[in-house]
Chain A
Amino acid sequence: MPTVPLAPRVPRGRIRWRRSVAKLTADQLAGVRDAYAWTQGVSDDRGYQSQAGVHGYPLPVSCQHTTSDRFASLFLPWHRAYLYFFERALRDRRTQLAHPWWDWAAPSAQSDGIPRAYADERSADGQPNPFHSVEINDEAMAQARRAGYDLPARTRRFPGQPGTRLPTALEVERLLGLPDFWSFSQQIEDLHGQVHVYVGGREGHMSAVPLAAYDPIFWAHHAMIDRIWRIWQLRHPPPSFTADFLATALRPFPMTVAQTMSVRAMGYDYASSGTTIEVG
């Protein structure tokens, strides 16, 4: 895959490991929640409302999902960039922070649904859990109502309603075996939509493109999607993308498709769990 070459004498930061939310230590979980709580309290363009609004309302709706096969599929590159820039914003609070990912294909998710880290209304210290829900700004909600959405301003979920189900590990494994990028991108985008509808149900925000990113579980869901893409990249030869595709700018981010092709060049990677042992 195309990568940004590392210059031999330019120091770079350590790789930040995105870990499974199920395997975070109590301190790690508290650290990520602290960063979320902080960003949710920031009202300027570093804050949660601004970051979540990039995906949908307030207009413009900038998220990229596959449309016709006449146009390049930017679903995976665009969302990789989106996660990256929100992660950078969170790191203004916690310098080594990396998104946790929600393994919705794991047996625990199949039996229990939303992980407790996101489902609990309060954190262990009794404070409101910033992963649970968020109050959406007035401008976005006014546009949502204009579009016909009858949803409250505070995000909510209705996981597991009849007619919905989470993708299984077998389904993930099947798509990881697809050798061509177009089929892989198509199939993973479908699993992604399946999870959105599972979480949001009929009247939850995750089921609505313009409001989904306000739900804090959106980020853990998309980190899982990004992780599956990373695994697919490790298993298959790099696709022969056209130069036009690789040079496409991922509005509004100062990044091209080519710059999303290597997570290592972006300074992160995926692990199940991870702990740093300081030697004193």
Chain B
Amino acid sequence: MDRYVSDPVELPAVEGEPEFERADLIFHGIDHGGDSYEARVFLDRPEADEATPLDLDHGYAGSFFIFGHGGCAGDEGHCDVPEDQTDPDDLRLAHPLTGATRQVIVTEALRGVSGESFTFTVVPVLPGADAPRREDVLAFESVELLTFD
């Protein structure tokens, strides 16, 4: 995808109880089999793009970085990630292209959110002034919001 804009995410809050001490957005199943890139995360800025300043005033919450493996140098099937890697008798390490997990600590940005829900936008940025906008660089399976008291 070129950019990802989430649906509204509810902010769990209990009146009279303290605000969270830390908040994380955890991205699961990120494809890292292609180019290297930065994924910039903005809160409540659905219009955010590569030119949006990286500060709290513009909703910037943090980034994760994908150090990409490029294409596949092996034969057919070499870079296919097995669907099931849970065999306890299989002592091989995880397939190198198993979808990645990345954690973005969004505490300060989330504290700046007004209202009971927010959206988040993920903007992939490839290096270079003439870097092509790649619609296929950003891909992930799910995102968790975790808060900690």
Binding site for B on A (CB under 8 A): 57, 59, 61, 63-71, 74, 143-144, 146-149, 158, 161-164, 183, 186-187, 190-194, 196-198, 200-203, 207-210, 212, 248, 251
Contacts and interface: CB of A to CB of B under 8 A. Distances in A.
B38 A197 contact: yes
A193 B68 CA distance: 9
Given A161-B129, A162-B129, A64 B73 contact: no
Interface in B16-61: 24, 26, 28-29, 32, 35-38, 50
Most buried by A among B26, B29, B64: B64
B125 A61 contact: no
B115 interface: no
8 contacts: A71-B85, A158-B127, A163-B38, A163-B131, A194-B65, A196-B36, A197-B37, A248-B93
B119 interface: no
Contacts of A210: 69-70, 73
Contacts of A201: 127-128
B68 to A, nearest CB: 6
Contact of A69 (B67, B72, B101, B129): B101
Contacts of A251: 93
A120 B75 CA distance: 39
Given A71-B94, A200-B127, 8 more contacts: A67-B94, A147-B73, A164-B127, A183-B24, A190-B63, A192-B65, A196-B67, A202-B126
Can you list the 10 inter-chain pairs with the closest CB atoms, starting with the nearest?
A193-B65, A202-B128, A148-B71, A147-B71, A67-B98, A143-B73, A193-B67, A147-B73, A71-B94, A69-B101
A202 B100 CA distance: 22
Contacts of B105: 183, 187
Contacts, number: 129
A71 B98 contact: yes
Given A59-B73, A197-B38, A208-B68, A186 B102 contact: yes
Contacts of B99: 67-68
B66 interface: yes
A197 B67 contact: yes
A68 B69 contact: no
Contact of B101 (A68, A194, A209): A68
Contacts of B102: 186, 190
Contacts of A193: 36, 65-67
Given A161-B128, A161-B129, A68 B64 contact: no
Contacts of A69: 26, 28, 101
A193 B100 CA distance: 13
B74 interface: yes
A127 B68 CA distance: 34
Contacts of A143: 73
B103 interface: yes
Given A68-B28, A197-B36, A144 B69 contact: no
B8 interface: no
A197 B65 CA distance: 9
Given A68-B94, A187-B105, A210-B73, A192 B67 contact: yes
A194 B100 contact: no
Given A64-B93, A67-B94, A209-B68, A163 B125 contact: yes
B82 interface: no
B112 interface: no
Interface in B69-102: 69-74, 85, 93-102
Given A193-B65, A209-B67, A209-B69, A61 B131 contact: no
